[in-house]
Amino acid sequence: MYKLFIFFAFICTSPLWAQQTEILIVGTLHDVEPEQADNYHQLLEQIRPWKPTVICTEYRKPTDTVSLKAVFGDDIFDFQDSLAKTWKVNLKTLLSEIRAAKAKVQTMDNLENRIQLAKLYHVHQDRGNAFFQYYHICHQFQQLTKDQQEQWMLKEPYLERILNFEKRNSYDEYWLLAYPLAIEQNIDYLYPTDDQTDRDVYHQAWGKANEELADHPLTVEFQSLYDSLITISFGSLNQGTAGIRLNQLDVQEMLYRLEADFYPPGLSSSSDLRNYYWIKRNERMAKHVLQVAEQHPNQRIVVFYGGSHVPAIRRQLRALSDHRILTLPDLPQN
């Protein structure tokens, strides 16, 4: 009996049976043309069988006031106040209103409830989830008759903004990757994990570094490596395979070298600053991802970032956690 107990204890504690948090980091292209959408479709086909249970995106967190101001300007919260006033939203009870609106959508998934939830997310500065609701709304709107659509347009002025957003953004990485994947997996919230706290000083340092190093011999090598990467990217883009190619290890290492490891320390004070801010940004974003992982232990978390972030985020996550950190080549090939 004692031996049987030991046997079952061993099985239950064996790594083969233990669950583990898995974090898949996927590099995306921020902009493609409509005719190049296959670059996202092939990437989605590669990720879909993995069946993520949590999705993170490169949007600013609603609580990250520094990043929001850096990206959208100092008057962003004045705009938030004006939206709240227009839509009669009480900012003091906003989070509870969002929870109630989510519950209403789950009970009755219709255009009215989706629009209300989108407004609340927008007031909250949770733009990724506001846009996710836009995706739902646009698909529901398309199912209406022409007369019903006209009635809704008269009834709800906000719909015009949403439909215009679809025209401008229906070929971005979230519209074609994160949103359909979330719906397939019954995921109703996307976690924002970007951090652009140092946006201005990073770009200033990058511009000054370009001037200071314009005649440096290493700049020629840098440009050669950059040109090689561009050639790979455009060739793959035209073939519809850029999403897959961008996530291959050799390309990721090229990206890491270009973004964080090309110019040695001390070569230029501005270059040192630029590298410092780039690494710090990725370190902060990695920590945001780990906060999500803490809320969802033993889950499969997919993180969508611009391709140049992937190698830096991968290094940070592996240094900061014991989770299983994956990139696209780690998934079974279709």
Report the DSSP pairing between strands 22-28 and 191-194: unpaired
Q: What six digits make up the tokens of 164? A: 């215009």
Helices (H), the chain: 2-13, 38-47, 65-72, 76-86, 94-107, 111-123, 127-142, 146-155, 158-169, 173, 179-184, 199-212, 217-239, 242-246, 249-256, 269-295, 310-320
Q: What are the phi and psi torsion angles at 16 (to 5°)?
A: -65, -25
Q: Which of 333, 334, 327 is nearest to 246 (CA)?
A: 327
Instruction: Report the pLDDT value the prediction gives residue 248, as an integer from 0 to 100.
Output: 93
Secondary structure (3-state) at 268? coil
DSSP bridge pairs for 162: none
Question: Which two tokens mark 105?
Answer: 């959508």
Instruction: Extract the tokens encoding 314.
Output: 């991968």
Residue 137: closest CA among 176, 163, 167 = 163
Residues of the chain with pLDDT under 70: 1-18, 334
- Amino acid 32: pLDDT: 81
DSSP three-state, residue 169: helix
What distance in Å separates the CA atoms of residue 293 and residue 56, rounded to the nearest whole number? 10
Q: Tell me, what's the pLDDT at 11?
A: 42
| Residue 161: both structure tokens together | 């903004």
Model confidence pLDDT, tens digit, residues 237-282: 888 888 999 999 999 999 999 998 889 999 999 999 999 999 999 9
Q: Could you tell me if 89 and 120 are in contact, meaning their C-beta atoms sit under 8 angstroms apart?
A: yes
pLDDT of residue 19: 77
Sheet holding 54-60, edge to edge: 191-194, 54-60, 300-306, 22-28, 324-327
Q: Is 101 exposed, middle or buried (0-12, 13-18, 19+ CB in 10 A)?
A: buried
Residue 253's nearest CA partner among 264, 241, 261 is: 261
Give the Cβ contact number of residue 149 at 10 Å: 15
Q: Phi first, then psi: what are they for 323, rounded to 5°?
A: -70, 160
Judging by beta carbons within 10 Å of its beta carbon (0-12, 13-18, 19+), is residue 137 exposed, middle or buried?
Answer: buried
pLDDT at 334 (0 to 100) = 59
Structure tokens at 300: 């499969």
Residue with token string 């011999």:
217
Which stretch of DSSP H or E encloses residue 88?
none
> Considering all CA atoms of the chain, what is the largest pairwise distance in Å, rounded to the nearest integer?
78
